[in-house]
Structure 1
Protein backbone atom coordinates (compact mmCIF):
# COMPACT_ATOMS: atom_id res chain seq x y z
CA UNK A 1 0.00 0.00 0.00
CA UNK A 2 2.06 2.77 -1.37
CA UNK A 3 1.97 6.45 -2.18
CA UNK A 4 5.46 7.41 -3.24
CA UNK A 5 8.40 6.26 -1.08
CA UNK A 6 10.18 6.55 2.23
CA UNK A 7 12.80 9.26 2.27
CA UNK A 8 16.35 8.60 3.02
CA UNK A 9 16.70 10.53 6.11
CA UNK A 10 17.28 6.99 7.29
CA UNK A 11 19.89 6.32 4.61
CA UNK A 12 23.57 6.17 5.36
CA UNK A 13 24.05 9.39 3.40
CA UNK A 14 22.24 11.32 6.10
CA UNK A 15 25.01 10.52 8.56
CA UNK A 16 28.13 10.83 6.39
CA UNK A 17 28.28 14.42 5.22
CA UNK A 18 31.83 14.83 6.53
CA UNK A 19 33.16 11.41 5.57
CA UNK A 20 34.25 12.47 2.09
CA UNK A 21 36.65 15.03 3.56
CA UNK A 22 38.55 12.14 5.16
CA UNK A 23 38.46 10.04 1.96
CA UNK A 24 39.74 12.58 -0.58
CA UNK A 25 36.28 12.83 -2.15
CA UNK A 26 36.21 9.11 -2.97
CA UNK A 27 32.49 8.90 -2.20
CA UNK A 28 29.82 9.48 -4.85
CA UNK A 29 27.24 12.17 -4.20
CA UNK A 30 27.94 14.45 -1.26
CA UNK A 31 29.20 12.32 1.64
CA UNK A 32 28.54 9.15 -0.34
CA UNK A 33 24.83 9.08 0.48
CA UNK A 34 21.41 9.71 -0.97
CA UNK A 35 18.22 11.36 0.14
CA UNK A 36 16.27 8.17 -0.58
CA UNK A 37 16.71 5.10 1.63
CA UNK A 38 17.37 2.50 -1.05
CA UNK A 39 15.58 -0.80 -0.54
CA UNK A 40 12.95 0.41 1.91
CA UNK A 41 9.98 -0.85 -0.15
CA UNK A 42 9.11 -4.41 -1.17
CA UNK A 43 5.67 -6.00 -1.60
CA UNK A 44 2.58 -3.81 -2.25
CA UNK A 45 4.71 -0.83 -3.30
CA UNK A 46 2.36 0.01 -6.21
CA UNK A 47 -1.00 -1.00 -4.72
CA UNK A 48 -2.94 2.05 -3.54
CA UNK A 49 -5.58 1.22 -0.90
CA UNK A 50 -9.21 2.46 -0.99
CA UNK A 51 -10.05 6.03 0.11
CA UNK A 52 -9.16 6.63 3.73
CA UNK A 53 -6.39 7.57 6.15
CA UNK A 54 -3.50 5.13 6.62
CA UNK A 55 -0.76 5.52 9.24
CA UNK A 56 2.28 3.44 8.32
CA UNK A 57 5.36 2.88 10.46
CA UNK A 58 8.78 1.83 9.16
CA UNK A 59 11.62 0.65 11.36
CA UNK A 60 15.22 0.22 10.24
CA UNK A 61 18.68 -0.69 11.46
CA UNK A 62 21.58 -0.07 9.07
CA UNK A 63 25.25 -0.83 9.74
CA UNK A 64 28.27 -0.27 7.47
CA UNK A 65 31.98 -0.79 8.13
CA UNK A 66 33.37 -0.54 4.58
CA UNK A 67 33.90 2.40 2.23
CA UNK A 68 34.27 1.44 -1.44
CA UNK A 69 36.16 3.50 -4.00
CA UNK A 70 35.56 3.58 -7.77
CA UNK A 71 37.29 0.19 -8.15
CA UNK A 72 35.37 -1.46 -5.33
CA UNK A 73 38.31 -1.43 -2.91
CA UNK A 74 37.64 -0.87 0.80
CA UNK A 75 39.36 2.38 1.81
CA UNK A 76 38.16 2.41 5.44
CA UNK A 77 41.62 1.47 6.74
CA UNK A 78 43.16 4.38 4.85
CA UNK A 79 41.09 6.84 6.88
CA UNK A 80 41.79 5.13 10.20
CA UNK A 81 38.65 3.00 10.28
CA UNK A 82 34.99 3.58 9.56
CA UNK A 83 31.67 2.63 11.12
CA UNK A 84 28.19 4.03 10.57
CA UNK A 85 25.01 2.87 12.31
CA UNK A 86 21.51 4.24 11.81
CA UNK A 87 18.39 3.33 13.75
CA UNK A 88 15.15 4.86 12.54
CA UNK A 89 11.45 4.87 13.44
CA UNK A 90 9.67 6.54 10.56
CA UNK A 91 5.94 7.36 10.68
CA UNK A 92 4.25 7.95 7.34
CA UNK A 93 0.74 9.37 6.96
CA UNK A 94 -1.18 8.54 3.79
CA UNK A 95 -4.48 10.14 2.78
CA UNK A 96 -6.23 8.52 -0.18
CA UNK A 97 -8.98 10.86 -1.30
CA UNK A 98 -12.29 10.05 -3.03
CA UNK A 99 -11.28 12.22 -6.01
CA UNK A 100 -9.95 11.02 -9.35
CA UNK A 101 -7.53 12.89 -11.63
CA UNK A 102 -6.67 11.58 -15.11
CA UNK A 103 -8.47 8.38 -14.21
CA UNK A 104 -6.35 7.75 -11.11
CA UNK A 105 -7.16 7.91 -7.41
CA UNK A 106 -5.64 11.07 -5.89
CA UNK A 107 -3.57 10.64 -2.73
CA UNK A 108 -1.09 12.55 -0.56
CA UNK A 109 1.47 11.58 2.04
CA UNK A 110 3.87 13.04 4.59
CA UNK A 111 6.86 11.36 6.26
CA UNK A 112 8.47 12.40 9.57
CA UNK A 113 11.67 10.36 10.23
CA UNK A 114 12.92 9.97 13.81
CA UNK A 115 16.61 9.04 13.73
CA UNK A 116 19.45 7.88 15.96
CA UNK A 117 22.80 7.95 14.14
CA UNK A 118 26.31 7.01 15.21
CA UNK A 119 29.36 7.52 12.98
CA UNK A 120 33.11 7.04 13.33
CA UNK A 121 35.62 8.11 10.67
CA UNK A 122 39.18 7.68 11.93
CA UNK A 123 39.39 9.34 15.34
CA UNK A 124 36.29 11.43 14.67
CA UNK A 125 33.22 10.06 16.46
CA UNK A 126 29.75 11.52 16.78
CA UNK A 127 26.19 10.50 17.66
CA UNK A 128 23.01 12.44 16.97
CA UNK A 129 19.28 12.02 17.48
CA UNK A 130 16.43 14.01 16.03
CA UNK A 131 13.85 14.56 13.32
CA UNK A 132 15.28 14.16 9.84
CA UNK A 133 14.26 15.72 6.54
CA UNK A 134 10.50 15.83 5.93
CA UNK A 135 8.98 14.39 2.76
CA UNK A 136 5.73 15.21 0.96
CA UNK A 137 4.15 13.55 -2.08
CA UNK A 138 1.21 13.65 -4.46
CA UNK A 139 0.22 10.43 -6.21
CA UNK A 140 -2.27 8.84 -8.60
CA UNK A 141 -3.18 5.18 -8.15
CA UNK A 142 -4.53 2.82 -10.82
CA UNK A 143 -5.91 -0.72 -10.78
CA UNK A 144 -5.49 -2.41 -14.15
CA UNK A 145 -7.01 -5.64 -12.81
CA UNK A 146 -7.54 -7.45 -9.53
CA UNK A 147 -3.88 -8.51 -9.72
CA UNK A 148 -2.06 -5.62 -11.44
CA UNK A 149 -1.79 -2.19 -9.79
CA UNK A 150 0.43 0.86 -10.30
CA UNK A 151 1.11 4.32 -8.88
CA UNK A 152 2.57 7.49 -10.39
CA UNK A 153 3.91 9.93 -7.80
CA UNK A 154 5.93 13.12 -7.42
CA UNK A 155 7.82 13.64 -4.19
CA UNK A 156 9.59 16.59 -2.58
CA UNK A 157 12.18 16.24 0.17
CA UNK A 158 12.67 19.34 2.35
CA UNK A 159 15.99 20.03 4.17
CA UNK A 160 14.45 20.30 7.65
CA UNK A 161 16.78 17.95 9.56
CA UNK A 162 19.59 19.41 11.69
CA UNK A 163 22.83 19.77 9.71
CA UNK A 164 26.35 21.11 10.15
CA UNK A 165 29.02 20.87 7.46
CA UNK A 166 31.73 20.26 10.08
CA UNK A 167 29.98 17.30 11.75
CA UNK A 168 30.64 13.66 10.90
CA UNK A 169 27.03 12.73 11.78
CA UNK A 170 23.95 14.59 10.63
CA UNK A 171 20.23 13.74 10.53
CA UNK A 172 19.60 15.95 7.46
CA UNK A 173 21.11 16.43 3.99
CA UNK A 174 20.73 20.24 3.78
CA UNK A 175 19.41 20.34 0.22
CA UNK A 176 16.12 19.97 -1.60
CA UNK A 177 15.37 16.96 -3.77
CA UNK A 178 12.49 16.18 -6.14
CA UNK A 179 11.66 12.72 -7.42
CA UNK A 180 9.17 11.37 -9.98
CA UNK A 181 8.44 7.66 -9.63
CA UNK A 182 6.46 4.71 -10.91
CA UNK A 183 5.57 1.75 -8.68
CA UNK A 184 4.02 -1.47 -10.02
CA UNK A 185 2.61 -4.41 -8.05
CA UNK A 186 1.42 -7.81 -9.24
CA UNK A 187 -0.42 -9.54 -6.40
CA UNK A 188 -1.87 -13.02 -5.96
CA UNK A 189 -2.96 -14.52 -2.61
CA UNK A 190 -1.69 -17.87 -3.89
CA UNK A 191 1.00 -17.60 -6.53
CA UNK A 192 3.43 -15.03 -7.92
CA UNK A 193 3.90 -11.64 -6.24
CA UNK A 194 6.20 -9.10 -7.90
CA UNK A 195 6.93 -5.41 -7.24
CA UNK A 196 9.08 -2.76 -8.88
CA UNK A 197 9.43 0.89 -7.88
CA UNK A 198 11.48 3.01 -10.32
CA UNK A 199 12.72 6.47 -9.26
CA UNK A 200 14.82 9.37 -10.57
CA UNK A 201 16.25 11.83 -8.03
CA UNK A 202 17.06 15.42 -8.94
CA UNK A 203 19.25 16.96 -6.24
CA UNK A 204 19.59 20.68 -5.62
CA UNK A 205 22.67 22.49 -4.25
CA UNK A 206 23.78 22.33 -0.64
CA UNK A 207 24.10 26.04 0.11
CA UNK A 208 26.55 25.47 2.98
CA UNK A 209 29.09 23.53 0.92
CA UNK A 210 28.25 24.65 -2.66
CA UNK A 211 28.11 20.93 -3.53
CA UNK A 212 25.50 19.54 -5.91
CA UNK A 213 25.11 15.76 -6.12
CA UNK A 214 24.38 14.16 -9.47
CA UNK A 215 21.07 12.67 -10.57
CA UNK A 216 20.33 9.18 -9.27
CA UNK A 217 18.36 6.39 -10.95
CA UNK A 218 17.31 3.56 -8.68
CA UNK A 219 14.69 0.87 -8.17
CA UNK A 220 13.40 -1.19 -5.25
CA UNK A 221 12.20 -4.69 -6.15
CA UNK A 222 10.67 -7.81 -4.61
CA UNK A 223 9.65 -11.21 -5.98
CA UNK A 224 7.84 -13.84 -3.92
CA UNK A 225 5.23 -16.55 -3.72
CA UNK A 226 1.89 -16.27 -1.93
CA UNK A 227 1.02 -19.31 0.16
CA UNK A 228 -2.72 -18.60 0.20
CA UNK A 229 -2.91 -18.04 3.97
CA UNK A 230 -1.78 -14.41 4.11
CA UNK A 231 1.93 -15.22 3.93
CA UNK A 232 4.25 -14.25 1.07
CA UNK A 233 7.87 -15.47 1.03
CA UNK A 234 10.49 -14.12 -1.33
CA UNK A 235 13.53 -11.98 -1.94
CA UNK A 236 14.09 -8.30 -2.63
CA UNK A 237 16.46 -5.37 -2.56
CA UNK A 238 17.42 -2.53 -4.84
CA UNK A 239 19.45 -1.41 -7.86
CA UNK A 240 21.23 1.96 -7.77
CA UNK A 241 23.13 3.98 -10.36
CA UNK A 242 24.24 7.60 -10.32
CA UNK A 243 23.65 8.89 -13.85
CA UNK A 244 25.28 12.34 -13.81
CA UNK A 245 28.40 13.87 -12.27
CA UNK A 246 28.71 15.75 -8.99
CA UNK A 247 29.58 19.45 -9.01
CA UNK A 248 31.39 21.70 -6.54
CA UNK A 249 31.19 25.44 -7.10
CA UNK A 250 29.78 24.79 -10.59
CA UNK A 251 32.75 22.62 -11.60
CA UNK A 252 32.58 18.87 -12.26
CA UNK A 253 34.15 16.69 -9.57
CA UNK A 254 37.19 14.86 -10.96
CA UNK A 255 36.17 11.50 -12.43
CA UNK A 256 32.47 12.31 -12.05
CA UNK A 257 32.36 10.65 -8.62
CA UNK A 258 29.45 8.40 -9.62
CA UNK A 259 28.18 5.68 -7.32
CA UNK A 260 26.47 2.34 -7.81
CA UNK A 261 25.21 -0.54 -5.69
CA UNK A 262 23.05 -3.64 -5.71
CA UNK A 263 21.28 -5.20 -2.72
CA UNK A 264 19.54 -8.53 -2.15
CA UNK A 265 18.03 -10.40 0.76
CA UNK A 266 15.05 -12.39 2.09
CA UNK A 267 11.59 -10.80 2.45
CA UNK A 268 8.52 -12.05 4.29
CA UNK A 269 5.03 -10.50 4.41
CA UNK A 270 1.92 -11.37 6.38
CA UNK A 271 -1.46 -9.78 5.63
CA UNK A 272 -4.48 -10.45 7.83
CA UNK A 273 -8.09 -10.78 6.73
CA UNK A 274 -8.76 -7.47 8.50
CA UNK A 275 -6.38 -5.58 6.20
CA UNK A 276 -3.35 -4.94 8.42
CA UNK A 277 0.00 -6.31 7.32
CA UNK A 278 3.62 -6.63 8.39
CA UNK A 279 6.65 -6.88 6.12
CA UNK A 280 10.18 -7.71 7.29
CA UNK A 281 13.41 -8.07 5.34
CA UNK A 282 17.18 -8.04 5.52
CA UNK A 283 19.27 -6.89 2.57
CA UNK A 284 23.02 -6.92 2.02
CA UNK A 285 24.85 -4.65 -0.43
CA UNK A 286 26.97 -5.91 -3.36
CA UNK A 287 28.98 -4.41 -6.24
CA UNK A 288 29.31 -1.13 -4.32
CA UNK A 289 31.27 1.75 -5.84
CA UNK A 290 32.01 5.15 -4.28
CA UNK A 291 29.68 4.49 -1.35
CA UNK A 292 29.46 2.91 2.09
CA UNK A 293 28.96 -0.88 2.09
CA UNK A 294 26.84 -2.70 4.68
CA UNK A 295 23.47 -4.25 5.40
CA UNK A 296 20.04 -3.15 6.60
CA UNK A 297 17.07 -4.67 8.39
CA UNK A 298 13.61 -3.24 7.64
CA UNK A 299 10.13 -3.70 9.05
CA UNK A 300 6.94 -2.06 7.81
CA UNK A 301 3.45 -2.20 9.26
CA UNK A 302 0.08 -0.64 8.51
CA UNK A 303 -3.24 -0.72 10.36
CA UNK A 304 -6.05 0.79 8.23
CA UNK A 305 -8.68 3.01 9.84
Structure 2
Protein backbone atom coordinates (compact mmCIF):
# COMPACT_ATOMS: atom_id res chain seq x y z
CA UNK A 1 0.00 0.00 0.00
CA UNK A 2 2.70 2.43 -1.00
CA UNK A 3 0.09 4.74 -2.46
CA UNK A 4 -1.08 5.45 1.07
CA UNK A 5 2.17 7.32 1.52
CA UNK A 6 1.09 9.92 -1.04
CA UNK A 7 -1.95 10.78 1.04
CA UNK A 8 0.28 11.76 3.94
CA UNK A 9 2.19 14.32 1.92
CA UNK A 10 1.49 18.02 2.23
CA UNK A 11 1.18 18.42 -1.54
CA UNK A 12 -1.17 21.35 -1.10
CA UNK A 13 -1.03 24.69 -2.80
CA UNK A 14 -2.82 27.41 -0.91
CA UNK A 15 -6.27 28.52 -2.00
CA UNK A 16 -8.80 29.18 0.76
CA UNK A 17 -10.92 32.24 1.55
CA UNK A 18 -8.25 34.03 3.51
CA UNK A 19 -5.70 36.80 2.91
CA UNK A 20 -4.89 36.99 -0.79
CA UNK A 21 -7.81 34.69 -1.59
CA UNK A 22 -5.42 31.89 -0.61
CA UNK A 23 -5.02 29.53 2.32
CA UNK A 24 -3.36 26.18 2.95
CA UNK A 25 -5.73 23.81 1.20
CA UNK A 26 -7.16 23.37 -2.29
CA UNK A 27 -10.59 21.75 -2.35
CA UNK A 28 -10.38 18.07 -3.25
CA UNK A 29 -6.60 17.69 -2.99
CA UNK A 30 -6.35 16.81 0.70
CA UNK A 31 -7.31 13.16 0.22
CA UNK A 32 -5.43 10.75 -2.02
CA UNK A 33 -4.99 7.02 -2.40
CA UNK A 34 -5.19 5.06 0.89
CA UNK A 35 -5.48 8.26 2.94
CA UNK A 36 -5.91 6.41 6.25
CA UNK A 37 -3.00 3.99 5.80
CA UNK A 38 0.43 4.55 7.32
CA UNK A 39 2.62 2.15 5.27
CA UNK A 40 3.33 -1.00 7.30
CA UNK A 41 6.89 -1.44 6.03
CA UNK A 42 9.49 0.54 8.06
CA UNK A 43 11.93 2.66 6.11
CA UNK A 44 12.21 5.68 3.87
CA UNK A 45 9.70 6.63 1.18
CA UNK A 46 10.22 9.46 -1.32
CA UNK A 47 7.66 11.32 -3.42
CA UNK A 48 7.52 14.03 -6.05
CA UNK A 49 4.41 16.16 -6.47
CA UNK A 50 3.09 18.76 -8.89
CA UNK A 51 0.01 20.93 -8.45
CA UNK A 52 -1.36 23.33 -11.08
CA UNK A 53 -4.10 25.80 -10.23
CA UNK A 54 -5.48 28.60 -12.39
CA UNK A 55 -8.26 30.64 -10.85
CA UNK A 56 -10.16 33.91 -10.82
CA UNK A 57 -11.72 36.12 -8.18
CA UNK A 58 -14.82 38.18 -9.08
CA UNK A 59 -14.03 41.71 -10.25
CA UNK A 60 -17.03 43.10 -8.35
CA UNK A 61 -15.70 41.92 -4.97
CA UNK A 62 -12.83 43.17 -2.85
CA UNK A 63 -9.97 40.82 -2.02
CA UNK A 64 -7.43 41.45 0.79
CA UNK A 65 -3.87 40.97 -0.45
CA UNK A 66 -0.55 42.37 0.82
CA UNK A 67 -2.32 44.85 3.08
CA UNK A 68 -4.54 46.37 0.37
CA UNK A 69 -7.96 45.61 -1.11
CA UNK A 70 -7.99 44.49 -4.74
CA UNK A 71 -11.01 44.27 -7.03
CA UNK A 72 -10.78 40.85 -8.61
CA UNK A 73 -7.71 38.78 -9.40
CA UNK A 74 -6.47 36.33 -12.02
CA UNK A 75 -3.81 33.90 -10.82
CA UNK A 76 -1.91 30.84 -11.99
CA UNK A 77 0.04 28.68 -9.53
CA UNK A 78 2.47 25.84 -10.10
CA UNK A 79 3.85 23.99 -7.08
CA UNK A 80 6.61 21.37 -7.19
CA UNK A 81 7.43 19.38 -4.07
CA UNK A 82 9.84 16.77 -2.77
CA UNK A 83 8.68 14.78 0.25
CA UNK A 84 10.25 12.23 2.51
CA UNK A 85 8.32 9.91 4.82
CA UNK A 86 10.10 7.77 7.38
CA UNK A 87 8.09 4.88 8.83
CA UNK A 88 9.35 4.00 12.28
CA UNK A 89 10.38 0.39 12.98
CA UNK A 90 8.65 0.49 16.37
CA UNK A 91 5.02 -0.68 16.64
CA UNK A 92 2.55 -0.68 19.54
CA UNK A 93 -0.19 -3.24 19.04
CA UNK A 94 -2.22 -2.13 16.04
CA UNK A 95 -0.49 1.26 15.91
CA UNK A 96 2.48 2.25 13.77
CA UNK A 97 4.10 5.64 13.33
CA UNK A 98 5.83 7.82 10.76
CA UNK A 99 7.32 11.30 10.26
CA UNK A 100 7.07 13.48 7.18
CA UNK A 101 8.71 16.58 5.66
CA UNK A 102 7.81 18.32 2.39
CA UNK A 103 9.97 20.92 0.63
CA UNK A 104 7.99 22.83 -2.04
CA UNK A 105 8.99 25.25 -4.79
CA UNK A 106 6.44 27.52 -6.44
CA UNK A 107 5.88 29.68 -9.51
CA UNK A 108 3.07 32.25 -9.56
CA UNK A 109 1.68 34.74 -12.07
CA UNK A 110 -1.12 37.04 -10.94
CA UNK A 111 -2.79 40.33 -11.80
CA UNK A 112 -5.31 42.38 -9.85
CA UNK A 113 -7.03 45.79 -9.90
CA UNK A 114 -5.62 47.82 -7.00
CA UNK A 115 -6.95 51.16 -5.75
CA UNK A 116 -4.64 54.16 -6.23
CA UNK A 117 -6.47 57.13 -4.75
CA UNK A 118 -9.74 57.66 -6.66
CA UNK A 119 -8.57 55.37 -9.48
CA UNK A 120 -7.98 51.65 -9.99
CA UNK A 121 -4.98 50.30 -11.84
CA UNK A 122 -4.15 46.82 -13.05
CA UNK A 123 -1.05 45.43 -11.32
CA UNK A 124 0.78 42.24 -12.30
CA UNK A 125 3.41 40.32 -10.36
CA UNK A 126 5.13 36.93 -10.56
CA UNK A 127 7.95 34.74 -9.33
CA UNK A 128 9.49 31.54 -10.70
CA UNK A 129 10.70 28.46 -8.85
CA UNK A 130 11.14 30.06 -5.42
CA UNK A 131 11.25 28.12 -2.17
CA UNK A 132 7.75 27.98 -0.71
CA UNK A 133 6.64 27.34 2.89
CA UNK A 134 8.01 24.02 4.17
CA UNK A 135 5.59 21.63 5.89
CA UNK A 136 6.23 18.75 8.25
CA UNK A 137 4.42 16.26 10.47
CA UNK A 138 6.58 15.19 13.42
CA UNK A 139 4.34 12.20 14.24
CA UNK A 140 1.75 10.44 12.08
CA UNK A 141 -0.09 7.74 14.01
CA UNK A 142 -1.67 4.91 12.04
CA UNK A 143 -4.22 2.52 13.53
CA UNK A 144 -5.15 -0.70 11.70
CA UNK A 145 -8.53 -2.06 12.83
CA UNK A 146 -8.02 -5.03 10.49
CA UNK A 147 -6.77 -5.59 6.95
CA UNK A 148 -9.56 -3.50 5.42
CA UNK A 149 -10.15 -0.63 7.90
CA UNK A 150 -7.42 1.92 8.65
CA UNK A 151 -7.10 5.29 10.42
CA UNK A 152 -4.35 7.94 10.38
CA UNK A 153 -4.00 10.86 12.81
CA UNK A 154 -1.56 13.72 12.30
CA UNK A 155 -0.82 17.42 12.75
CA UNK A 156 0.77 19.08 9.75
CA UNK A 157 2.80 22.23 10.42
CA UNK A 158 3.50 24.75 7.65
CA UNK A 159 6.48 27.02 8.40
CA UNK A 160 6.98 30.41 6.66
CA UNK A 161 10.23 29.44 4.92
CA UNK A 162 9.70 31.44 1.73
CA UNK A 163 10.51 35.12 1.34
CA UNK A 164 7.79 37.73 1.89
CA UNK A 165 7.58 41.38 0.81
CA UNK A 166 4.36 43.21 1.83
CA UNK A 167 4.87 45.62 -1.08
CA UNK A 168 4.47 42.78 -3.61
CA UNK A 169 1.28 41.05 -4.71
CA UNK A 170 2.98 37.70 -5.39
CA UNK A 171 4.96 36.11 -2.57
CA UNK A 172 6.34 32.56 -2.15
CA UNK A 173 5.09 32.47 1.45
CA UNK A 174 1.98 33.09 3.52
CA UNK A 175 4.24 34.66 6.17
CA UNK A 176 2.40 32.75 8.90
CA UNK A 177 2.57 29.42 10.69
CA UNK A 178 -0.32 27.07 9.89
CA UNK A 179 -1.28 24.06 12.02
CA UNK A 180 -3.59 21.42 10.53
CA UNK A 181 -4.86 18.53 12.70
CA UNK A 182 -6.10 15.84 10.32
CA UNK A 183 -8.08 12.59 10.57
CA UNK A 184 -8.03 10.21 7.60
CA UNK A 185 -9.88 6.92 7.14
CA UNK A 186 -9.61 4.17 4.51
CA UNK A 187 -11.93 1.20 3.92
CA UNK A 188 -11.20 -1.56 1.40
CA UNK A 189 -13.62 -3.99 -0.27
CA UNK A 190 -13.73 -6.63 -3.02
CA UNK A 191 -10.41 -8.14 -1.98
CA UNK A 192 -8.75 -4.72 -1.88
CA UNK A 193 -9.69 -3.69 -5.43
CA UNK A 194 -12.22 -1.08 -4.23
CA UNK A 195 -11.10 1.71 -1.91
CA UNK A 196 -12.95 4.50 -0.12
CA UNK A 197 -10.86 7.14 1.63
CA UNK A 198 -11.81 10.34 3.45
CA UNK A 199 -9.65 13.02 5.08
CA UNK A 200 -10.83 15.91 7.25
CA UNK A 201 -8.82 18.70 8.84
CA UNK A 202 -8.85 22.29 10.08
CA UNK A 203 -6.22 24.91 9.18
CA UNK A 204 -5.32 27.27 12.05
CA UNK A 205 -3.17 30.23 11.01
CA UNK A 206 -1.07 32.68 13.01
CA UNK A 207 -1.02 36.40 12.22
CA UNK A 208 0.88 37.80 9.26
CA UNK A 209 2.86 40.45 11.14
CA UNK A 210 3.83 42.27 7.95
CA UNK A 211 0.19 43.11 7.16
CA UNK A 212 -1.40 42.69 10.62
CA UNK A 213 -3.82 40.18 9.09
CA UNK A 214 -4.84 36.82 10.52
CA UNK A 215 -6.75 34.32 8.41
CA UNK A 216 -9.63 32.50 10.08
CA UNK A 217 -9.82 28.75 10.66
CA UNK A 218 -10.69 26.72 7.55
CA UNK A 219 -12.37 23.30 7.72
CA UNK A 220 -12.01 20.91 4.78
CA UNK A 221 -13.18 17.38 4.09
CA UNK A 222 -12.39 15.42 0.92
CA UNK A 223 -13.42 11.92 -0.13
CA UNK A 224 -12.60 9.56 -3.00
CA UNK A 225 -13.63 6.15 -4.31
CA UNK A 226 -11.25 4.06 -6.44
CA UNK A 227 -11.52 0.83 -8.43
CA UNK A 228 -8.24 -0.95 -9.28
CA UNK A 229 -7.39 -3.87 -11.55
CA UNK A 230 -4.67 -6.51 -11.49
CA UNK A 231 -2.71 -4.75 -14.24
CA UNK A 232 -2.01 -1.89 -11.79
CA UNK A 233 -4.37 0.72 -13.23
CA UNK A 234 -7.11 2.41 -11.24
CA UNK A 235 -9.98 4.84 -11.90
CA UNK A 236 -12.10 6.80 -9.47
CA UNK A 237 -13.94 9.93 -8.45
CA UNK A 238 -13.14 12.58 -5.85
CA UNK A 239 -15.02 15.42 -4.17
CA UNK A 240 -14.27 18.06 -1.58
CA UNK A 241 -15.87 20.70 0.64
CA UNK A 242 -14.01 23.67 2.09
CA UNK A 243 -15.69 25.93 4.65
CA UNK A 244 -14.11 28.78 6.58
CA UNK A 245 -15.44 28.54 10.13
CA UNK A 246 -13.71 31.57 11.67
CA UNK A 247 -13.55 35.21 10.59
CA UNK A 248 -10.35 36.75 9.34
CA UNK A 249 -9.11 39.49 11.69
CA UNK A 250 -7.40 42.84 11.12
CA UNK A 251 -8.55 46.27 10.00
CA UNK A 252 -8.99 45.20 6.37
CA UNK A 253 -10.76 41.96 7.34
CA UNK A 254 -13.18 43.87 9.57
CA UNK A 255 -14.08 46.15 6.64
CA UNK A 256 -14.78 43.05 4.53
CA UNK A 257 -17.04 41.53 7.21
CA UNK A 258 -14.63 38.75 8.19
CA UNK A 259 -14.10 37.54 4.60
CA UNK A 260 -15.32 33.98 5.23
CA UNK A 261 -15.13 31.67 2.22
CA UNK A 262 -16.60 28.43 0.92
CA UNK A 263 -16.13 26.07 -2.03
CA UNK A 264 -17.08 22.65 -3.40
CA UNK A 265 -15.19 20.57 -5.97
CA UNK A 266 -15.62 17.29 -7.85
CA UNK A 267 -13.48 15.43 -10.33
CA UNK A 268 -11.79 12.24 -11.51
CA UNK A 269 -8.62 10.26 -10.72
CA UNK A 270 -6.44 7.85 -12.67
CA UNK A 271 -3.62 5.94 -10.98
CA UNK A 272 -1.03 3.26 -11.63
CA UNK A 273 0.90 1.03 -9.21
CA UNK A 274 3.80 -1.34 -9.86
CA UNK A 275 6.03 -3.49 -7.67
CA UNK A 276 9.38 -4.97 -8.68
CA UNK A 277 11.22 -7.12 -6.13
CA UNK A 278 11.69 -4.90 -3.05
CA UNK A 279 10.83 -1.63 -4.82
CA UNK A 280 7.35 -0.20 -5.30
CA UNK A 281 6.15 2.81 -7.24
CA UNK A 282 2.85 4.65 -7.57
CA UNK A 283 1.64 7.47 -9.84
CA UNK A 284 -1.65 9.34 -9.56
CA UNK A 285 -3.27 12.13 -11.59
CA UNK A 286 -6.41 14.00 -10.56
CA UNK A 287 -8.44 16.89 -11.97
CA UNK A 288 -11.29 18.71 -10.25
CA UNK A 289 -13.75 21.49 -11.02
CA UNK A 290 -14.66 23.95 -8.27
CA UNK A 291 -18.21 25.29 -7.93
CA UNK A 292 -20.44 27.11 -5.43
CA UNK A 293 -17.40 29.25 -4.59
CA UNK A 294 -17.62 32.31 -2.34
CA UNK A 295 -14.89 34.76 -1.35
CA UNK A 296 -11.99 32.81 -2.79
CA UNK A 297 -10.34 31.97 -6.09
CA UNK A 298 -12.35 29.67 -8.36
CA UNK A 299 -10.63 27.31 -10.78
CA UNK A 300 -9.85 23.74 -11.83
CA UNK A 301 -7.05 22.21 -9.73
CA UNK A 302 -4.84 19.46 -11.11
CA UNK A 303 -2.42 17.29 -9.12
CA UNK A 304 0.18 14.80 -10.32
CA UNK A 305 2.01 12.79 -7.66
CA UNK A 306 4.41 9.89 -7.69
CA UNK A 307 6.16 7.93 -4.95
CA UNK A 308 8.77 5.23 -4.58
CA UNK A 309 9.55 2.92 -1.67
CA UNK A 310 12.75 0.94 -1.17
Query: What is the TM-score when the length of structure 2 is the normalising length?
Result: 0.84
Aligned counterpart, 1:56? 47
Residues 69, 289 of structure 1: 8 Å contact kept: no
Distance (whole Å) between structure 2 residues aligned to residue 66 and residue 4 of structure 1: 30
Aligned counterpart, 1:112? 103
Distance (whole Å) between structure 2 residues aligned to residue 290 and residue 187 of structure 1: 37
Residues 64, 85 of structure 1: 8 Å contact kept: yes
- The partner residue of 1:35 within 24, 32, 40 is 24
Shift of 1:7: 5.3
Query: What is the TM-score when the length of structure 1 is the normalising length?
Result: 0.85
Aligned counterpart, 1:134? 134
Aligned counterpart, 2:124? 125
Residues 7, 36 of structure 1: 8 Å contact kept: no
Question: Does residue 1:283 correspond to 2:291, yes or no?
Answer: no
Distance (whole Å) between structure 2 residues aligned to residue 244 and residue 80 of structure 1: 23
Deviation per residue, 1:36-80 (Å, 9 max, x gap): 34433322222111211000111121111343888xxxxxxxx67
Shift of 1:151: 0.6
Aligned counterpart, 1:223? 225
Distance (whole Å) between structure 2 residues aligned to residue 60 and residue 210 of structure 1: 29
Q: How does 1:5-16 map to 2 (within 5 A)?
A: 5-6=9-10, 8=12, 10-12=13-15
Structure 2 runs not aligned, ≥5 long: 62-69, 114-121
Residues 94, 144 of structure 2: 8 Å contact kept: no
Question: Does residue 1:67 correspond to 2:58, yes or no?
Answer: yes
Aligned counterpart, 2:83? 92
Q: Structure 1 residues 208-217 or 243-252, which shifts more? A: 243-252
Distance (whole Å) between structure 1 residues aligned to residue 93 and residue 132 of structure 2: 33
Residues 58, 72 of structure 2: 8 Å contact kept: no
Distance of aligned partners of 1:126 and 1:254 in 2 relative to their CA distance in 1, 3 Å threshold: closer
The total of aligned residue pairs comes to 283
Q: Secondary structure at the match of 1:276?
A: strand
